[in-house]
Structure 1
Amino acid sequence: MSSVVTALLAVAGAAGVAIVFVEIVHWLVKRLGRRSTLAADLARTMHRPFQATVILLAVQQAVRIWAGDFPGRPGVVHVLVLLCIAAAAWLVGATLLVLEDMALAKWRTDMPDNLKTRRIKTQVVMLRRVTVAAIVVLTIGVMLMTFPDIRALGASVLASAGVISVVAALAAQSTLGNVFAGLQLAFSDAIRVDDVVVVEQEWGRIEEITLTYVVVQIWDDRRLILPTSYFTTKPFQNWTRTGSAVLGTADIDVDWSTPVEPLRAELQRVCESSDLWNERVCVLQVTGATDGQIRLRALVSADDAAALWDLRCLVRERLVAWIWQHQRAAVPRMRAEVESVASGPVLADGHIGPGPSSDAARVFSGGTDGDARGVVFGGPVPAPADSPDSAARP
């Protein structure tokens, strides 16, 4: 009984000392956080995992050193060891996540030229997922190795690791392929978070990249979920791979008689009066002249794809309105030439009937050859099935 009381007192004393120590450290770090953003994030994020780790370590050492032999002592010590391993993994993971958040905070994506920022953000996010997965796997492995029976099986497991790895690779080749494709995407700059892409005939933005799938936010707020291997095996359009600024067109069909120079001047006025234009490209060209119409193509530029879409719609709207107001004759017209047809005999209902046909329109009648051919290929005309003569014919 005395050993149990001693163990409880040791645990309570060690836990109390650990709590006091953690609170002192937390207070000091919060004081530093007034001047340092990193210290403030550490104080806010790491307080709980640090507290759990220190308390469990103190309790474990108190039980090992001051507590004597009591019923269930090996099991209690083993449980404390497992809890210490889990708490230490929690602390390491929280520390790494704070450092990754600090790296992301230094690179803002709400800027016009954010190519480098989006690349770093994509890589940090992917590293975060890999880090968390690695910490979980290592923690589980270390916890399992604390069991004597499992440690004894280590040699046989290592001996059969080759066979197991082959079987696992065959069974999970699709998943592993997506994982490696995700790592390739993170460091190859094929796509990044916030890239504007056209995939599966849908225009959208890369919202999230994981080790196994990519989330594309479609322009109408739908989400397109694709495996990461899709972006390494199939073609797609990336509008912002080398920069956020993009070009776009607005096509208008007008009549051949349309003067183009006034429309060029109007396009320039529209672009200069809009804050969507980035002052790079504002061009009007004739790109086609077929079917009695000419096609005018307005080429404009904007800082990003969203602004470009609105600018294209604005240019098209303003040009159409200007043409209707100032050059109404430029509206496409359909030209047709009407000719009189050859007249024939007038029928009783007033319509013109067919005129006399020539021998050149007949094969088995008309002319010497036609009549002769008709005799050769002619024969008795079969009577209808319901006529009296049809019953007498074989």
Structure 2
Amino acid sequence: MLQRLNPQNWTLDWIAIAESALIIGLAVAAAYLLYRGIFAIASRLARASETALDDLVVQKIRRPVKWAMIAIAITLVAGANENLAAVWEPIARFVRPALLGWIAYTLVKAFALGLEYRLQTSEEGGVADIATLRSRKTRISILSRTATFVIVFITVGLMLLSIPQVAAIGTTVLASAGIAALAVGAAAQPALKSLIAGLQMALTEPLRIGDLVVIDGFSGRVEEIRMSYIIVRMWDERAVIVPTSRFLDNSFENWSRKNEKLTGPVMLHLDPIAEISPIRAEFERFVDAHPLWDRRTADLLMTDAYPESIALRLSVSSATIGDLFQLRCDLREHMLAWLREHQPDALIRHRLELPGGHAKAPEAEAP
């Protein structure tokens, strides 16, 4: 067929074209039928399993495997047909790395999906503690994104090198190794920095998905960890985007590094006339009866004393950060209400004493 497509003779051999089209059609049909048969069996086996994980994996890899089988079928028939091979091989050099990269990308996503499903099952069943679950979830997220980045990078490179013009340019550039190394190093520095930061985040785990962190005055839960940035969801549902390298280069607070247990203060600034013993007794009574107290910490200390005020620190603890916040709010509200009822003089008021009255005030008339 192609012999009749050369510049000396542009006459088309319709018989050869029809023969090649028929061969391709039969190969595609056979590959499609084989694909349907294999995945029918795989889907039946997945439905027979006890978990939904098999169904998720089968659905994830269905499309790339279908097109890969079709490409393999065309490659096999092209090996026995010179005319078809002459047309298919230039296309296959571009299609093969794309399909292989797609399959590898899908397998990584399916593997990460399976691990996340197991973690979710463990969390619902209470098999592992929250810190271990967050650690595993963070590693799965970062390592899967790193693997997909590498797969996409290599796939695009192989696809570009399959183009003769690009391959010739690449060979010329590689001939100047020193200049190429400097150029590639300068161009890839941001991507490599993000890649290294993501890997360091996965290995050292200064924070994990679900941790409550405070950085640059923003506090919230780590919602997502990517190679170049981290999403922190605040209490009012705002999302703060923080570069990954900032968590490695700067100090930040992690309130749930090991677990959710935390101790928090409630500060009361009172008049020095306040009686501390009754206040301490009421504080202990209220905390002991509160359902959110985990019975670890309940202390009342006078941390400061000034001529016009004293500072009481009421420390309480709870099993989770959310429970602690609610407990502190309830304690603050209750203690102020109790002070207004039982020790109103303990609440600070601004007073102004003017001995003999004010100079400009009119003198009171004599009786």
TM-score normalised by structure 1 residue count: 0.78
Q: 2:83 aligns with which of 65, 69, 78?
A: 69
1:95 to 1:319, Cα distance in 2 relative to 1, 3 A: same
1:241 to 1:165, Cα distance in 2 relative to 1, 3 A: farther
User: Would you say the 8 A contact 1:6–1:68 is kept in 2?
Assistant: no
What SS is found at the alignment partner of 1:221? coil
Tell whether 2:18 aligns with 1:5: yes
Structure 1 match to 2:9: none
Q: How does 1:137-286 map to 2 (within 5 A)?
A: 137-152=153-168, 154-171=170-187, 173-286=189-302
Deviates more, 1:180-189 or 1:16-25: 180-189
User: Would you say the 8 A contact 1:245–1:302 is kept in 2?
Assistant: yes
- TM-superposed deviation, 1:174: 4.6
Q: How does 1:96-135 map to 2 (within 5 A)?
A: 96-108=108-120, 113-135=129-151
- TM-superposed deviation, 1:333: 4.4
Q: 1:88 aligns with which of 74, 83, 100?
A: 100
User: Would you say the 8 A contact 2:209–2:223 is kept in 1?
Assistant: yes
State the distance in 1 between where 2:83 and 2:191 align. 50
User: Would you say the 8 A contact 2:57–2:114 is kept in 1?
Assistant: no
Q: 2:152 aligns with which of 136, 142, 145?
A: 136
User: Would you say the 8 A contact 1:113–1:244 is kept in 2?
Assistant: no
State the distance in 2 between where 1:270 and 1:49 align. 62
Amino acid at match of 1:91: I
Amino acid at match of 1:306: G
What SS is found at the alignment partner of 2:172? helix
User: Would you say the 8 A contact 1:292–1:334 is kept in 2?
Assistant: no
List alignment gaps of at least 5 residues for structure 2: 1-13
Structure 2 match to 1:14: 27
Structure 2 match to 1:315: 331
State the distance in 1 between where 2:56 and 2:240 align. 34
Q: 2:42 aligns with which of 15, 18, 29?
A: 29
- TM-superposed deviation, 1:37: 3.8
User: Would you say the 8 A contact 2:198–2:227 is kept in 1?
Assistant: yes
1:178-232 superposed Cα distances (whole Å, 9 cap, x missing partner): 4322322222111211111111112212222211112222222222222222112
State the distance in 1 between where 2:186 and 2:22 align. 55
- TM-superposed deviation, 1:153: 5.0
Tell whether 2:55 aligns with 1:40: yes
- TM-superposed deviation, 1:237: 1.3
What SS is found at the alignment partner of 1:69? helix
1:202 to 1:69, Cα distance in 2 relative to 1, 3 A: closer
List alignment gaps of at least 5 residues for structure 1: 352-394
State the distance in 2 between where 1:100 and 1:206 align. 19
Aligned residues: 343
State the distance in 2 between where 1:161 and 1:309 align. 60
User: Would you say the 8 A contact 2:223–2:231 is kept in 1?
Assistant: yes
What SS is found at the alignment partner of 1:190? coil
Amino acid at match of 2:34: F
- Structure number with larger C-alpha Rg: 1
State the distance in 2 between where 1:266 and 1:238 align. 32
- TM-superposed deviation, 1:88: 2.4
- TM-superposed deviation, 1:285: 1.6
Deviates more, 1:296-305 or 1:36-45: 36-45
- TM-superposed deviation, 1:54: 0.6
User: Would you say the 8 A contact 2:197–2:227 is kept in 1?
Assistant: yes
- TM-superposed deviation, 1:155: 4.2
Amino acid at match of 2:109: L
Amino acid at match of 1:51: K
User: Would you say the 8 A contact 2:108–2:148 is kept in 1?
Assistant: no
1:311-335 superposed Cα distances (whole Å, 9 cap, x missing partner): 2111101111112122323222456
Amino acid at match of 1:142: L
State the distance in 2 between where 1:265 and 1:231 align. 43
> Alignment identity in percent?
28
State the distance in 1 between where 2:90 and 2:350 align. 90
4+ aligned runs moved over 6 Å, structure 1: 109-112
Structure 1 match to 2:11: none
1:237 to 1:75, Cα distance in 2 relative to 1, 3 A: same
RMSD over aligned CA atoms reads: 2.8
User: Would you say the 8 A contact 1:64–1:77 is kept in 2?
Assistant: no
1:339 to 1:113, Cα distance in 2 relative to 1, 3 A: farther
1:10 to 1:272, Cα distance in 2 relative to 1, 3 A: farther
State the distance in 1 between where 2:187 and 2:151 align. 24
1:350 to 1:289, Cα distance in 2 relative to 1, 3 A: closer
TM-score normalised by structure 2 residue count: 0.83
Amino acid at match of 1:48: R
User: Would you say the 8 A contact 2:53–2:117 is kept in 1?
Assistant: no
1:338 to 1:140, Cα distance in 2 relative to 1, 3 A: closer
